Structure formats: structure tokens, C-alpha cells
Amino acid sequence: PEVPQRMLEVLRHGPLRAAVGRALLSTRARRALLYLPAHDEKKAQKAAGLGVDCVCLDLEDAVATTRKGEARAGAVKALQTVDFGRSDRAVRINPLGTDLAAADLEALFQPNQVLPDTLVVPKVNRTRDLDWLFEKVAILCKGWKKRPELALITQVESAIGLLNLRSIIEYDLQDSTESTIFVMSGLIFGADDYAADIGAVRTTGNMEVMYARQSIVAHAKAYGLQAIDLVNINFKDSELLQREAQEGFTFGFTGKQIIHPLQVTPVQEAYTPAEDKISWAVNILTEFARLQAAGGAGAFTVAGQMIDMPTIKQCQNIVALARAAGKLAAEEANEAEAKEAKEAKEGEQAKEGKEQQPPQSSPQK
């Protein structure tokens, strides 16, 4: 994706700016993010065999206050002993600035201990919330021979959090260039908390949170981040789940929060481009590459359809989603883009060569 000017400024400073680049270029798929209470060992074992993109061991909402200590121990044990396969191993801690969150971080960030791949942070409302997180983790990791590197996903759950989202993202990305601990990777929309904060009544149609959903997608895409949509707690209502998942995919979300194994397959299928769409996108990008090599073109036609630059962008998005979902091998997914870049470069070089040739003398009369 095109990198915003602000991020370019961030990337130009600091020896560790590659951390942000990795987040942009190699973000792993999180079509479904499955929460499970961290103290439930059986659920962790079951989740390991589901093939879900992201397993999130929850220390927050899914755990009663009286069982927080048990959940911390369960999360640490699961990370050490459970083979989650290709699934992203995430942990959601308690709200920043609380004693509960401090205890969560102290349990997770111990030397010679398996760390999660991703840290999910709820209720981020202001940049000072992140200050607390970064300072705590820096202290805990001080003196380690190798500093850890984790993906960081923050949750939007209030009106003030939504209004401050741009500054939160930019602050987070800037920290990613200054330490190797966190790589800003995505945003999660906490619809129920957000609705309660603004005094909205929750409905199955989700119209009351439409603005927030679209705003979160816009912010995420502007900064090359993932956008993970609201959770559906009515896990037995498969029709509603499929409708929500398809709607979220149409809006531009890259994944959805889930709470039950029955939700894994329908959600991940909804967030995977269809085979015909993938073929369509690859064919268009291939034709675009050919035309670029031949000297460039504005709008052009493929199979009776007019193709312009917004369509090219859509095709690039489809190919990226297909690659992340494992529907295309990296080489295959990159083929059209690589061909496009190579042939465009060759075309440009040929053009420059012609321009540099001395003009031919007119024939003598």
C-alpha cells in the first residue's frame, strides 16, 4: 500500500525503522481472531487444532476478577506447551494503567520464556496510555541479551479513542522505530463498549456503529494496518454471523473477532477472496503489466470491462488478501506485480535510451 507522508517521515529516522517496514510488507493473516479464557487449558488445546488464523488468550473480558492470576499462569503455560501450528499466538491484557495490566505484563515478559506473537491492548484512548505500556515493557526487558519483537494491536472502544485514533497510530508507529519490542500491526473495533460509551442501543443491523466501523477501516488502511471487525456473541446464529462477516469484508476489514470454534470456518471463508475473483485480479494485473511495458496506458479493456487505476488497486488488494490467506503461493501472487515492475522498468529504460540518442542528420541535398 502507498505509505502516508507521516509514516515516510518516521521511516527516515532511527536505525530500527525496518520494524515498521516489516509490519507493512509481511503482516500475517488474521481473518478470524478467536478469544478464549486463558485459564481454560482444554479450550487452548482445542483451539490449536482449529486452523484459526489467530488464537487470542484472553486475560481481560473472558476472565472473572477472581481468576486473573490463574489466567496469567494459564497463558504462560499455553505459550510454553501448546503447539498452535500456523496460528498467530496473541494475548489480550487488561486495560493499561491498571494493576491488573501491570501484573499481566510481569507474567508475560520474563527472560527465557516463550512470548506471544502478538499483544492485544484494550481501551486505548490517548497516546499517554501507550507511554505506560512502552515504559513498563522496556523496564521488564532491560538487560535481556535479545530484545523481543511482538506485533501490537490496539482496540478502539470509546468515542475519545476514535477521535484520537490518528494520533495514537502515529505515536505507536513512531515508537516502533525506536524500539524492537513492538511492531504496530492492526486495530480492533470493540463495538459493544463503544456503543455503551456513546449511549447507543445495540441492534443486529449495526447501524448505530456504522460511522465508527468505517472510520476504523479508513485509519487502518491509511497507515497500512489490519482492521479487525466487531464480535458476534450470538454464535448459534450462523446466518447473522455470515451476513456480518461478508459486510465487514465488503467494508474493507481484514478480519473479525470470534468467540466460538463454530465461527472459525464461516468467518475465514468470508474474508478469503473467491477463486474467480483471484483469477480476475491476476489476469488484470498481468494485462496491466503488458501495457505498461508497451509504453503505458490509461484506461483499458479486459473481457469487455473497462479497467482504470482504482480497479488496479482493487486487484492488488485481492491478490494481497489471497496471498495472506494461503490461496496463492508467494511466487504466484507476486508474478503479475513482479512482471509489471520489470516490464515497466525495461520500458522506461528503452524510452530513456531513445531520448539520449543524438538526432540523425538530415540527408544531404
What are the per-10-residue average pLDDT scores of the chain (365 residues)?
Answer: 41 38 56 97 96 97 96 98 96 97 98 95 96 93 88 97 96 64 93 98 97 97 93 93 96 96 96 88 87 81 86 84 75 54 57 56 44
What single letter denotes the amino acid at residue 213? R
CB 248 within 8 A of CB 231: no
What is the sign, positive or negative, of the torsion defined by CA atoms of 122, 127, 132, 136?
Answer: positive
For position 293, what pLDDT does the model report? 83
Residues designated catalytic: 308
For position 348, what pLDDT does the model report? 59
Over the range 111-145, which residues count as b (16 or more CB within 10 Å of their CB) and which as e? eeeebbbbbbbbbbbebebbeebbebbeebbeeee
DSSP helix/strand/coil, 43: helix
Cα 129 to chain centroid distance, Å, stands at: 21
Return d(Cα 77, Cα 91) in angstroms, integer: 12
- What does the block give as the cell for 358? 543524438
* Beta carbons within 10 angstroms of residue 345's beta carbon: 12
For position 176, what pLDDT does the model report? 52
DSSP state of 50: T
CB 326 within 8 A of CB 269: no
DSSP state of 116: P
Cα 112 to chain centroid distance, Å, stands at: 28
Of 9, 48, 5, 1, which is closest to residue 27 (Cα–Cα)? Answer: 1
Return d(Cα 50, Cα 68) in angstroms, integer: 25
For position 301, what pLDDT does the model report? 87
For position 16, what pLDDT does the model report? 34
Return d(Cα 189, Cα 257) in angstroms, integer: 9
Helix (H) or strand (E) holding 213: helix 210-222
For position 337, what pLDDT does the model report? 54
pTM of the model: 0.79
- Residues whose CB falls within 8 Å of the CB of residue 238, separated by 6 or more in sequence, listed in order: 262, 266
Return d(Cα 93, Cα 58) in angstroms, integer: 7
Return d(Cα 329, Cα 281) in angstroms, integer: 15
